[in-house]
Structure 1
Amino acid sequence: MTGIDYDDAETLTAALEDRLTATLAPDTVSRRSVLGGIGVAGSAALGLSGTGAADGDHDDDEHGNFGPNGEYGDENFDPHDFLRTFNTGGEGQDNVNENVYEEDGQTVRHFTLTAVDTTITIAPGVEFDAWTFNGQVPGPTLRVVEGDTIRVTFVNGSSHAHTIHPHVKNVDPRMDGTPQNGPGVLETGEEFTYEWEAQPAGLHFYHCHSLPLKEHFHRGLYGVIVVDPDPDRVRENPREYVSGNRPVSDEYAAELVETAKTRNHEYSENARYDEMVMVMNGFDTNFDGENEVYAANTRAFAYGVGSTDANGEWEAGETIRPIQIDKNQRQRVYLLNATEFDPINSFHTHSQFYDYYDHGTTLEPTHSTVDTVMQCQAQRGILELDYSDHEQGLYMFHAHQSEFAELGWMSFFEVV
């Protein structure tokens, strides 16, 4: 790739970013006016001025106005750090209190999640009044192993009532995190410890289930649970990890066990893959039931092409840079759609095809050799990509709802 390709990509990212932030300044803007108001041009031609801020106060919020911010803030959230950070109970983010220990012969991975009202940055100069887990959107990624006990102490430091609902196979209705079951909704200052068995293996989801659902969901109360397959369980019950009811030969069962090791963070085989989490989300900045900003991991164009100081600062787009990947290492993307108000989001790669594992609950692909996959809200899956035969340079990926891409959900891999 020549230098001009990077220059052109940077110009494209800057033009789309500037158009978005310029038209978000009035708090009555709709996404249609963002798309139609200004043509794609260089940033100098856009005449940017001022700061766009989303107003969080609106009359139909049954929980009332926002309370004070909690102890967490947005200044330390970097979508590039979030991308590859997994909280396993033993290691992860500094703002996650976590531990892993044995209890009655069972591995317990214990996390503390705190609901906090805070302001997050969704584009340079554009802020959004969010309800969060541990002060960030998406919430921390929890990574466990199939069969573990997931123990989550939930502390409600928000001024609104919240719960945590897990998308795992939960056999105890008291732990479902809904207003009707167990402790119900937790009011300000209350806490409760949820427990779930980590099953089935795959990519799962947690979110607040307090009413009104669209409000609590859209404001940012969601995150990812990765349940790694246990190779020993795969060896004992290989048919549980394939589609359909066809026989599984001993040879194929052995292959499934080896595949399970690559998906389990406790095995050295996992290092063959560069793993990352992408949560597709959107933000209704004027609370009209229509998103004005879209992103992967919250910040519009975070994985576009721009200048960077490489120190994780977020000032005028300095952390906007492509995701750098090693062409000799396979890529694994844990993809989840947390977009409210739009029925479908999607993931499309340029110049590349991938295998897709819907919900990640099988060890064989549900779709092979595809370059676009659609997900409804809460749907998730695992993508596996191989760039070993590609030339070095930039390869775009984005939502193939074109307006989503223009409003923030446009990214690049940089193959090196």
Structure 2
Amino acid sequence: MEISPGVFFNAWTYNGTVPGPTIRATEGDLLRVKFINNGEKPHTIHFHGIHPAEMDGVFEIVGEGGQFTYEFPAAPVGVHLYHCHVMPVEEHIARGLYGVFIVDPKEGKPPADEMVMVLNGFDTDFDTENNSYAANSVPFYYLNNPIQINKDELVRVYVMNILEFDQINNLHMHGNLFDYYPTGTYQVPSAYTDMVTFSQGDRGIMEFEYTYPGKYLIHAHKVEFSEKGWVGAFQVNDNQQDPKSVSVEYGT
């Protein structure tokens, strides 16, 4: 896959993308995922959450050309992840075998402008050090293509950190603060903040509204990560105005 102009990465994928497709269900729904391994190495899907042992995706290894059906009730409410759990797990995650699994409450959530943001990176020369960082795989993408949102409108971001080789990652939002719900399993936020720090597998839900229109950065507050691609922007539009997007140069 091409992660930036002229830079290609030999990714391992679920359904051809990194991250893999977002899986979404309502609490109690019967989730059924048919996994077919078209790759050359053994793989699995390990879901975070609550499920029977035989659906855990650790010991049920699927070899080349094999298949396995995962089936269990979706639980608990929140934002979870899934990833390959075949050894060495580090390599399978670093190559791109991961995605987001959202379980909505039966009563639903207030209407909001929603998006999924997976914080990741790529070790393009395979020396166990990342060469680029991003939200949703493409460095600087949301800086050059700002996320369009409306002033005074609720925004909900399902965020997950799956960064390999670096012990922590973080997220800082400019010009505003957000309610943060770690893992999304409780309906009361744990913090009202403009920054959150993650280890691998940490995830949560951000909810916020912008009061003033304009362009606001969102980025890693670890400068190396932002200068290597993990930086983007929200373009906050006045509801009476047309959305505008201006590209700016940031980092190298």
Same fold (TM over 0.5): yes
Are 2:250 and 1:411 equivalent residues in the alignment? no
Q: Distance in 2 between matches of 1:205 and 1:400?
A: 23
Are 2:108 and 1:284 equivalent residues in the alignment? no
1:385 pairs, out of 208, 216, 219, with 208
Q: Distance in 1 between matches of 2:214 and 2:194?
A: 19
Instruction: Please give the residue correspondences for 1:130-149 in structure 2 after superposition, counting only pairs within 5 Å.
Output: 130-149=11-30
Q: Distance in 1 between matches of 2:2 and 2:90?
A: 20
Deviations 1:154-192 (Å, cap 9, x if unpaired)? 00001111000000111x2111100x3xxx211111111
1:153 pairs, out of 34, 59, 77, with 34
Aligned to 1:415, what secondary structure does the other structure show? strand
TM-score normalized by the length of structure 2? 0.92
Instruction: Please give the residue correspondences for 1:188-267 in structure 2 after superposition, counting only pairs within 5 Å.
Output: 188-231=64-107, 261-262=108-109
Partner of 2:62: 186
TM-superposed deviation, 1:196: 2.1
Partner of 1:168: 49
Compare the two structures and name the one with the higher helix fraction: 1
2:78 partner letter: G
Partner of 2:245: none
Aligned to 1:133, what secondary structure does the other structure show? coil
Q: Distance in 1 between matches of 2:8 and 2:225?
A: 19
Q: Distance in 1 between matches of 2:73 and 2:140?
A: 36
Deviations 1:222-262 (Å, cap 9, x if unpaired)? 0001100112xxxxxxxxxxxxxxxxxxxxxxxxxxxxx32
TM-score normalized by the length of structure 1? 0.56
Are 2:182 and 1:365 equivalent residues in the alignment? no
Are 2:163 and 1:339 equivalent residues in the alignment? yes
1:399 partner letter: A
Are 2:216 and 1:374 equivalent residues in the alignment? no
Give the number of aligned pairs. Answer: 237
Partner of 2:149: 325
Q: Distance in 2 between matches of 1:154 and 1:173?
A: 17
Structure 1 unpaired stretches of 5+: 1-119, 232-260, 263-268, 306-320
TM-superposed deviation, 1:328: 3.0
Deviations 1:337-386 (Å, cap 9, x if unpaired)? 0100011111100111111000000001011x201000110110000011
Partner of 1:104: none
Aligned to 1:216, what secondary structure does the other structure show? helix
TM-superposed deviation, 1:287: 0.7
Q: Distance in 2 between matches of 1:229 and 1:133?
A: 26
321-330 or 139-148: which moved more? 321-330
Structure 2 unpaired stretches of 5+: 238-252
Aligned to 1:140, what secondary structure does the other structure show? coil
Compare the two structures and name the one with the higher strand fraction: 2
Runs of 4+ in structure 1 off by over 6 angstroms are none
Are 2:221 and 1:400 equivalent residues in the alignment? yes
TM-superposed deviation, 1:130: 0.4
The share of aligned pairs that are identical, in percent, is: 50
Are 2:177 and 1:296 equivalent residues in the alignment? no
1:126 partner letter: V
Instruction: Please give the residue correspondences for 1:41-56 in structure 2 after superposition, counting only pairs within 5 Å.
Output: none
